[in-house]
Amino acid sequence: MNYKSSMTDVGNEMIAQAHKDDKAIIFDSFLVSEALSDTGVELTKTTKNLFSNPLTYPINSKATSDNTFTVKAVLANKTDKFTVDEDFSINVIGVLAHIDGSSDSRLITIAVAEGTGAVITAFRDTLYSLTVAITQAYKADQPANFGLANVAYALADDLDKLKTDIQIIIDGGLTDVAKINEANTFTEAQKFDKGATDGKGNAYATMKDVATGLNNGLSTKVTDNKDGTEQLNGVQVQPFNKLSDTIGGRNYLLNSDQPITVSEANNRYTIIPTKLKTLSAGTYIFTANVSGLVGNQTSLTIGLSNPSNHNDYNASNVPIINGTVTKKMTITDGDIHTNVIIYSGTNGWPGSAGCTAIYTNYQLIKSDVVKDWTPAPEDKVNVSDMRTPASDVAGIEEVNAKQDKIGYTPADDSKVVHDNGDGTVTVDGQTYTPANDVYAIKRNDAGNTVGTVKIPDGNLQSSAGDRFYPIKWFNSYDEAMTYSKSHPYVDCRW
């Protein structure tokens, strides 16, 4: 099987450009195809886009001699990227390369079979491979510098040459010295009088340097208080991290530090809701401390209920051991019983008659083992130094309710009477003296307000000679009120 090879025009241009830029040509891969899409194209004009359904293999080795290079690749019927399902004829082989520093991989050399090419046998549970080498001469004033991008295999003849080179070095009797630009192994500890540095002169840190940095740096900022809290820059914090509270152990019950008293007063049972719509498959554990028992009960009925129907629940009696109840439940995926139901006694509602139980530090977690109580992530406060108690802060519902009682929005400036601080007030852009002046609110026959006129000396006649007839007295908020000359506003018609 003979192949005819040729440099492409692009390949010659790349060699010339690489020589001009003083850069290397980097071999990338073999491109193997059964045919070109344009069978009439000249080999020198061929590009990689003309290869029909090609297979791509990494170039494994290269050799150069004057203005000649040889590249080799192992062509296999199964790689980590593809499998050859049918016999594949190697009729066209291309060598792809790029100039160092560029990502543009182009066809530098092409070889075409003269007749029928070699065949890669289809993979049928049997690996098959063959090594293909292309030797290509090129025209240049001086030999080009070539390199490899990816090396996937070591060829047998390459290994043989390497073994020969190593033997020559050994026979040469070289002394055991460290060599630059090579990896050196030291069997004994080495001492550097001036310290070890990298290629840019930066000193490497020693274990002593690292320990000193940790002691002088981190320890002055974060201190373990040994009581479940830490001191961060002088502020006591709890080492709770909401981002680390995952489904594997978080408490699904909110406000779980608030005691719940279950008795006849609340129908002998209480529902503790979660925010879950369904439960995923796994083991869930409910734990709680119980106290204040009335009824001599030694166990309590506990289980899970359907949020949409509290009569739909799964519960059983759980023994009280050292003031604690622990109930382990195996849940199937998609279970809709997401709320916890707790009773004041044993055997559910009938057996809880006359009983009382106080539940504290309760939690529901997804876990195979019992864990110490922790609040839900939503209930955790990371910084203990709270400047304002939560009880002193009005909620948005409270603010809205008070605003509704006022009847207007205080922030709406058009509905606010402004005290100017000089005995006058401003209403709708006009200034009045409530203590001395009397004003008539002018209305038309339709009853619409059209203006306000000052009445001198308390007479129902303006300075322009208009006479006004009082209808009823009004205050500054337009509310009807009993006749009073002490009020400065009078509603009139003219």
CB 144 within 8 Å of CB 25: yes
Contacts of 322 (CB under 8 A, 6+ apart): none
Beta bridge partners of 260: 359
437 shares a domain with 344: no
Within its chain, how far is the Cα of 234 from the centroid? 30
- Could you give the CA distance from residue 3 to residue 117 in angstroms, rounded to a whole number? 8
pLDDT score, position 475: 40
User: Would residue 188 count as lying in a domain?
Assistant: no
Residue located via tokens 């997401």: 338
132 shares a domain with 11: yes
Cβ density class 422-442: b for 16+ within 10 Å, e for less: eeebeeeeeebebeeebbbbb
Closest to 279 measured CA to CA, from 243, 325, 247: 247
Letter for the amino acid at 285? I
CA distances from 419 to 90, 215, 432, 488 (A): 98, 63, 10, 15
CB 89 within 8 Å of CB 119: yes
Residue located via tokens 């007295």: 473
Would you state the structure tokens that stand for residue 351, as one six-digit string?
Answer: 């057996």
483 shares a domain with 441: yes
- Could you give the CA distance from residue 120 to residue 34 in angstroms, rounded to a whole number? 11
145 shares a domain with 50: yes
User: Would residue 302 count as lying in a domain?
Assistant: yes
User: Would residue 156 count as lying in a domain?
Assistant: yes
Would you state the structure tokens that stand for residue 147, as one six-digit string?
Answer: 């390199």
420 shares a domain with 352: no
- Could you give the CA distance from residue 178 to residue 79 in angstroms, rounded to a whole number? 39
User: Would residue 388 count as lying in a domain?
Assistant: no
435 shares a domain with 363: no
Does pTM top 0.75 for this prediction? no
Closest to 157 measured CA to CA, from 57, 63, 30: 63
pLDDT score, position 255: 92
420 shares a domain with 463: yes
Would you state the structure tokens that stand for residue 487, as one six-digit string?
Answer: 């009020």
Contacts of 75 (CB under 8 A, 6+ apart): 30, 32, 55, 57, 90, 120, 129, 130, 131, 132
- Could you give the CA distance from residue 33 to residue 54 in angstroms, rounded to a whole number? 5
Would you state the structure tokens that stand for residue 406, as one six-digit string?
Answer: 């006022």
**Mean pLDDT split into 10-residue runs, the chain, 494 residues:** 89 93 93 91 92 92 90 92 92 94 93 89 89 91 86 54 63 59 77 76 76 61 70 64 51 93 93 90 95 94 92 93 95 93 95 95 93 87 48 61 60 67 75 63 60 56 44 39 40 43
User: Would residue 185 count as lying in a domain?
Assistant: no
pLDDT score, position 225: 76
* Greatest Cα pair distance in the chain: 132
Look at the chain and report how many structural domains it folds into. Answer: 3
Letter for the amino acid at 79? T
Q: What CATH number is attached to the domain comprising 341? A: 2.60.120
Burial of 183 (0-12, 13-18, 19+ CB in 10 A): exposed
Phi/psi of residue 484, each to 5°? -155, 120
135 shares a domain with 63: yes
Sort strands 438-443 and 489-493 into parallel, antiparallel or unpaired: parallel
Other C-beta atoms within 10 Å of 392: how many? 6
155 shares a domain with 40: yes
- End-to-end alpha-carbon separation of the chain, Å? 120
330 shares a domain with 278: yes
- Could you give the CA distance from residue 9 to residue 85 in angstroms, rounded to a whole number? 34
Point out the domain boundary residue: 109, 138, 160: 160
Would you state the structure tokens that stand for residue 345, as one six-digit string?
Answer: 């006694």
Residue located via tokens 């322009």: 464
Containing structural domain, residue 139: 3-160
User: Would residue 171 count as lying in a domain?
Assistant: no
Can you give 254-315 as a three-state secondary structure string? CCCCCCEEECHHHCCEEEECCCCCCECCEEEEEEEEEEEEECCCCEEEEEEEECCEEEEEEE
Sort strands 88-90 and 118-120 into parallel, antiparallel or unpaired: antiparallel
448 shares a domain with 322: no
- Could you give the CA distance from residue 420 to residue 437 in angstroms, rounded to a whole number? 16
Point out the domain boundary residue: 358, 379, 400: 379
417 shares a domain with 271: no
Tell me the H-state helices in 44-147.
none
Cβ density class 281-319: b for 16+ within 10 Å, e for less: eeebbbbbbbeebebebebbbbbbbbeeeeeebebebbe
Contacts of 466 (CB under 8 A, 6+ apart): 453, 494
User: Would residue 480 count as lying in a domain?
Assistant: yes
User: Would residue 234 count as lying in a domain?
Assistant: no
Point out the domain boundary residue: 126, 160, 194: 160
